[in-house]
Homo-oligomer: A and B are copies of this chain.
Amino acid sequence: MNRKMPVKRARTKQKRLSADDRRSEFVTKATELFAEEGFGGGTRALARKLGVTQPLLYRYFPSKDDLIKEVYRKVYLEPLEIGWEKLLSDRSRPLRERLQEFYEVYTDAIFNRRWLRIYLYSGLKGLDINRWYVGMVKDKILTRILRECRHDAGLAAQSRPSAAELELAWVFHGGIFYYGVRKYIYEAPVLEDKAQMISDALDIFLAGFERMAESATDRRRAPIKVVG
């Protein structure tokens, strides 16, 4: 028996997907919708994006909240695909080079309208998953960076970074993050060369770290001086 004209399949509204495909299509399009409209975006608008009717959603998700949770999972776990540990902790490469590459890769993953908007919307809802992510940035990125910086500067390792060190790292990290917010949320003009921005931010962070490391032994703060 020959196939029933596959041409028609292209003309018809491509209904009748497999369950897995349909489900993941819901998550994908929901991410797009919620990124634009916030989580108040309607289930009918979502169905329209898929070319199906609204009740179909409930064959795949018990409630809208469950769909939202799926979106969270996808968005929050997406940028974690990168091999952070190896990249940051590979001491065969110069520290500066590692940091530059890490932030280029990391920002490639999260600097886009979809990710940043979902991240901010979920942050405003104050959910646990958001606190978890912030804690992870602290533990897996900033703490690791500080450890490598201390090692690079010949300082003794410590189990946990000091509050002042951590704050320095946070301000640095936040400054870079805010670049993405300015570009993709505020849609304000930014310096187009992202790598250059990261490089400049790294310059002043590393200089600040060295300065702090020295003044920590001094006890009193010495005025900073830069020599060309």
Contacts and interface: CB of A to CB of B under 8 A. Distances in A.
Contact of A208 (B40, B197, B207): B207
A224 B212 contact: no
Contacts of A207: 204, 207-208, 211, 224, 226
A178 B181 CA distance: 11
Contacts of A206: 224
A213 to B, nearest CB: 9
A58 interface: no
Interface stretch (A1-9, A11-19, A63-71, A163-171): A163-171
A124 B117 contact: yes
Identical chains in the assembly: 2
Interface in A87-139: 117, 120-121, 123-124, 126, 130-131, 134-135, 138
A73 interface: no
A170 B182 contact: yes
A134 B182 CA distance: 9
A210 interface: yes
A186 B182 CA distance: 19
B226 A214 contact: yes
Interface residues of A, number: 58
Contacts of A225: 226-227
A155 interface: no
B204 A168 contact: yes
A39 to B, nearest CB: 9
Given A117-B124, A123-B186, A207-B204, A171 B164 contact: no
Contacts of A38: 38, 40, 124
B200 A168 contact: yes
6 contacts: A38-B124, A171-B179, A174-B178, A204-B207, A206-B224, A226-B226
Ranked nearest first, the 7 interchain pairs of A and B with the lowest CB-CB distance are: A174-B178, A204-B208, A175-B175, A171-B175, A167-B191, A222-B228, A214-B228
